[in-house]
Structure 1
Amino acid sequence: MESKISHSIVEKWLKAWSLSRKLPLPAQYKSGFRVEVGEENQKVRYVFPELNNDFLDLSKLINEPWIYLKVCASPDEVKNSVPERWEIQPPGYMMYCLGPMKNRGQALCEDYHLEYEKYNSTTVVKIIAENGELASTGRIVMVDDLAVYDRIITEEKHRRKGLAVFLMLELEKIALSNDICNNFLVATEDGKMLYESLGWKLYSPYISIVIPAN
């Protein structure tokens, strides 16, 4: 991966993010991108590959709540550069894996089975418990030569059973079946350790800011 954050990779990731959520595709906004999210607590998101004047100028213009500005930078880089009305959100981590992932051969626990769903360019893998509960779920979206992993969730009562590892490896199989071995995702603090255990590496810190409602 490049030492400088790739505008193209961020665009592909954001396109996949939008497809996964059935949202309009990102539109170019100066050196970054804009997505119309349309949710009560996230109206719009702007994403920038780097902390630059486009990002900083926008942070000065916006006074409306629930518009997110996101950038490939650390919290320390951002917090002293934007007006005080902006609230820094928990850090995220852009991560990549050129495959194959570690822990291959992980078996699915007894009393669970897999289900699949497809829409847009998205494949959803679900791990279902014996009682019909959704235990773990994740999505993979192929955009050109990039496989983007999204919304990887294991429900609390089904954790510590290896389901998340099995799920990631199932998603990887889908990428490989499309001859794609460039894997990308944005992790939370909690997810970062799991992905590192599978061989993923940090591409860039990723931070979000928002003006909360009064």
Structure 2
Amino acid sequence: MRHVLHSADEATVRKVTEHATAPGVWLKAFVPPETLEPWLAPGWHLAGGAGYLMSAPLPNAHARARALTETPDGYRVTTWTRAGVTRALVRTADGAFAARGQIAVTGLSAVVDQVETDPSHQRRGLGRLVMHRLTAAAAGQGATAGVLGATPEGRTLYETMGWRTLAPLTGAMRGPDSSET
């Protein structure tokens, strides 16, 4: 389970983290880590590293992503939609995983999630290719704006594609931590 707080304050974070006691529950909030950490109930810890909430108008992001419309040599990309989620998967010629991502359209907005490139395939344009496929699919479904949570590494790529940072994004997870082992 994940809780995403669009506006976080100490009372709300404490209430959520005191009542969510199952291991593996996540909380994400648009505040810096040093703000969120003291608000967490016992058994919770910061997780996932630094993050950023980013957004872009999809036609703009799509136009900037258009710079890479062909799949690089030695790779193949598959894109499909099921249950409202469009996924893009890049594999090597021999079928090994290289990159992936997904996007879900919710009205005029689309949420990009789980974009990753295998470290041995980075710096080859695969992240840009995945983003191009995802934003094109979302724009084709009528979405005009996209949002995503970025890592520091991902933020660099997304900024070159016209995305802008709106807020810090910090994650926390319920147990196990050193006090529970």
**TM over 0.5, yes or no?**
yes
Partner of 2:2: 45
Residue 173 to residue 55, structure 1, CA distance change in 2 (3 Å) = same
Higher relative helix content = 2
Q: Deviations over 1:101-150 (max 9, x none)?
A: 22522142112222123210011112222112222111121111111111
Partner of 2:112: 149
Amino-acid identity (%): 22
Task: Confirm whether residue 69 of structure 1 aligns to residue 27 of structure 2.
Answer: yes
Task: Confirm whether residue 54 of structure 1 aligns to residue 17 of structure 2.
Answer: no
Partner of 2:136: 173
Deviation at 1:192, TM superposition (A): 1.3
Partner of 2:145: 182
Task: Confirm whether residue 104 of structure 1 aligns to residue 79 of structure 2.
Answer: no
TM-score (ref. length: structure 1):
0.71
Query: 1:131 pairs with 85, 94, 97, which one?
Result: 94
Question: Which structure 1 residue ranges, 5 or more long, are not aligned?
Answer: 1-43
Q: Deviations over 1:16-46 (max 9, x none)?
A: xxxxxxxxxxxxxxxxxxxxxxxxxxxx322
The answer on whether the counterparts of 2:28 and 2:169 sit within 8 Å (CA) in structure 1 is yes
TM-score (ref. length: structure 2):
0.83
Q: State the number of aligned residues.
A: 171
The answer on whether the counterparts of 2:65 and 2:131 sit within 8 Å (CA) in structure 1 is no
Deviation at 1:49, TM superposition (A): 1.2
Residue 127 to residue 211, structure 1, CA distance change in 2 (3 Å) = closer
Amino acid at match of 1:92: G
Task: Confirm whether residue 121 of structure 1 aligns to residue 79 of structure 2.
Answer: no
Query: 2:39 pairs with 70, 75, 81, which one?
Result: 81
Partner of 1:195: 158
Equivalents in 2 of 1:149, 1:58: separation in Å? 25
Q: Root-mean-square deviation (CA), in Å?
A: 2.0
Deviation at 1:178, TM superposition (A): 1.9
SS in 1 for 2:39: coil
SS in 2 for 1:91: coil
Question: Which structure 2 residue ranges, 5 or more long, are not aligned?
Answer: none
Partner of 1:161: 124
User: Whose RCO is larger (CA < 8 A, sep 6+)?
Assistant: 2
